[in-house]
Structure formats: C-alpha cells, structure tokens
Chain A
C-alpha cells in the first residue's frame, strides 16, 4: 500500500509530511502534476471496473492499485512544450485533465482532499448555507451587485458592515502583488459605491463583540483549535493586516461547534479543513468560512500542535473519504 502526495516541489509543508511519514511503514510517492509530460507519464488500463497501471517518473513508479490515500496539496498545472501552438496546448491540457485527472480522481481511496470536493467548497455562499444547516452560527451576509442593496444592508443593522472577497484576496497587477483585506464600509463609501454594479460583492456584519479570531484545523475527525489574538485595531478587523501583532494559543472547540464542524466536513466530502470563526465576548462561535486547502504550518510552528503528525497518521490509516 502507498500514500500518494500531489504537491509542488518547493513546499516545506509537504516536506514535513513526507518526513513524518518516514516514521511509518508506508511507501510514499510524491509527485507534481507540473512534471507532466516531460517527467511524468501515465499508463492506466481499466480492468474489472477499476483503473490499474502506473504513473511513472524517472525515479519512481506508482502502482495505482496500491495507492490507499492521496494528499492533494495544490500541485501545478501541466507544462507542455513551448513549441506547441495555443490550440495544441489547450487540446493537450483538456485531454490530460480528463485523462490523467480522471484516472486519479476516480481512485476510491482516502483523499485529503479530493480536488472536486475542494472545487465545490470554493463557493462560500454555499458554505454558509451548509454551515447553518449543520447547526453552526453564521454571520448575516449580503451578496450583491446593487449599490442600493448595500445601503439597505447597512441601514437595517446597528452592526458595522465589512466588505470581504469571496475568492483570492491577492491579485497580480502592475507587475506586483496587491492584497485586498476585510474593510469596514464607511459613510464615505456609501456616498460613492461605483464599481459595485460590475461584479458580485460580499458584505457581512462585523461582530461588534468580537473577542478573538479562531481557526480550527480539522484532520479527519481530529479538531485542533487555535485562538488568534490581535493586538491592533487593524488586526482585529482582519488578522491578515497585522501578522507581527498576533498572538496564538491552543483552544478547546466547544462540543456543539465540534459536532457542527464534523457534520459540515462530512457533508462537504472533506477530510481536511481550515475553518475560520469569530469568537465573541459571550463565547459564541460564529462561522466565517472553510478553506479546504488552508495552511496550518504557521499555527503549528507557533503553538507546537501536532498537526503534521496527525495528517501523516490519517494518510497512513487511509480508507475512503
């Protein structure tokens, strides 16, 4: 039996898991799909209703039917010869995605996480509905492309309102990275909401009685809670605004919240999640979002929580998602 890790070459978190798996009696194969086709090939045959065969690199051969768990950690897209035309590259991309990707995603093993479930989980409005259905408390939220709806949402609450991205908070523009952070909607904003109408935007009530942020790293059924204490007003609004001012500590996840998280992840088909909450000054936990590909190394480094070993143990156990 073997564990298949799909990750980029330069990934210290993946390195740590490979290192941890060395302590177990399990074969580990680490591949990056970006090696295809130059240094990765596929030879898979449908036998008895399942895919058999190999993925091969110059250094190893992965027998598909021996894989019992897959860690899907943001491997790169395929890299085709530069001599190909755009049409040829698009053809090769689609065929390879459907072929190599189709064979891999049909493996009925433990996935951490299955990429198609990750893709589904990227829709945060759906996360909020599912979280509420699982008994988690969610924050009043508006998705709109109408300026008048923003004004209505702000007018009907005494809470401050914040604008938040639904997708990536970092864009590349003018040759450099720029970051969008959670921001308070001000009276000045309400006067001029130009640009709301050209895209969908997300707004949420800001928890006025916010005590601290919490991140829960879910690895299988194991939940690891962390309090993220900000020491500045900027950090309290969005902890990503002030990393140097943050303090971390381990945190027990209340039973009711833990139950909701496990239901949420099961319904999402996920075996790993990085879930963000706000904890208010009455110890209420308000669900913000789940990142199925979220990072955990930084809280492990800050607190010593055994996340890498927990993930390695989950991969060794295998099973199905």
Chain B
C-alpha cells in the first residue's frame, strides 16, 4: 500500500489541483532512457518528431528584483526587445548566473500537472 503522501500526489483520478506549483523543477536534466519496445510503448508516442519548430531565442539577461523585469548587463529592461516563442515551441532562454540555471528549455503552451520531485 502506498504511503499517504504518495496517494496524495499520485492518485490517478483526483484533481491535479493537489499540485499547487504546477510547473516542474527547472534545470533538471532530461530523462535519457531510450524508448521501450513495441508492445510496451504507448501508440501515441509513435513517430515523435524532433523539435519541429525553429523556436525563438529569448534575449539573454538577468532578473532584476527591483524592476521585476529581465534586464541586460547595463540594467536596461529587455521587455521591448523580447521575442515571443511559438506557442508550443521548445524555446531556450539563456540567462547569466546559477539561479535559474544558465540555460533551460521549456514548453510554452502547456501547464503541466506534475511538478515531480522538488529541485
């Protein structure tokens, strides 16, 4: 039997509202396991494409907690130059420093339901 906290986070039919912070931890390496053999792998995962959108690069910058905006090394907000990624593209945001990691990928148009283990 699962521990109560496991039931809380993994019960299959309850609302995922159990998960308050809806996005996963950032900077976590992608799983490196290869696909399972035919018969185990879900049909819906057949013929997956590599990233088939060019995406767009988000301008590099750091978060300014005073302005509450991303700024360039000179402290100027990048908001007027920011490029919006395609809605389901994997975009890459490059930022300086360690928090968040120096490079991270995310999917734009989806709010995930499982934050996984906290980073």
> Which residues does A use to contact B, with CB under 8 Å?
5, 8-10, 12-13, 15-16, 18-19, 28-30, 33-34, 57-60, 74-80, 86, 89-94, 97, 100-102, 104-105, 115-116, 118-120, 122, 163, 165, 167-181, 183, 193-196, 198-199, 201, 240-241, 243-244, 274, 291-295, 297-298, 300-301
**Cβ B43 vs Cβ A77 within 8 A:** no
**Cβ B88 vs Cβ A169 within 8 A:** yes
Q: How far is the CA of A179 from the CA of B104 in the complex (A)?
A: 17
- With beta carbons under 8 angstroms apart, the residue of B35, B69, B78, B89 that contacts A173 is B35
Per DSSP, chain B at the interface is loop
**Cβ B54 vs Cβ A243 within 8 A:** yes
Q: How far is the CA of A75 from the CA of B77 in the complex (A)?
A: 21
Q: How far is the CA of A120 from the CA of B18 in the complex (A)?
A: 10
B16 CB to closest chain A CB (Å) equals: 4
Q: A94-B5, A119-B113, A293-B111 are in contact. Are A176 and B30 (CB under 8 A)?
A: yes
Instruction: For A172, list chain B residues within 8 Å (CB).
Output: 30-31
Across the two chains, which residue of chain A brings its CB closest to B26?
A: A76
Q: How far is the CA of A302 from the CA of B5 in the complex (A)?
A: 46
**Cβ A57 vs Cβ B39 within 8 A:** no
**Cβ A77 vs Cβ B21 within 8 A:** yes
**Cβ A167 vs Cβ B25 within 8 A:** no
Per DSSP, chain A at the interface is mixed
Interface residues of B in 27-67 (CB under 8 A from A): 29-35, 38-54, 58-59, 61, 63, 65-67
**Cβ B58 vs Cβ A169 within 8 A:** no
Q: A18-B69, A170-B90 are in contact. Are A77 and B51 (CB under 8 A)?
A: no
**Cβ A171 vs Cβ B45 within 8 A:** yes
Instruction: For A274, list chain B residues within 8 Å (CB).
Output: 87, 109
- With beta carbons under 8 angstroms apart, the residue of A29, A163, A240 that contacts B44 is A163
Q: Write 17 A-B pairs (CB below 8 A) sorted by A numbering.
A: A8-B100, A12-B59, A12-B84, A15-B77, A15-B79, A18-B67, A30-B68, A33-B21, A58-B65, A78-B118, A80-B119, A90-B117, A122-B113, A181-B49, A183-B47, A195-B40, A297-B85
Across the two chains, which residue of chain B brings its CB closest to A35?
A: B99
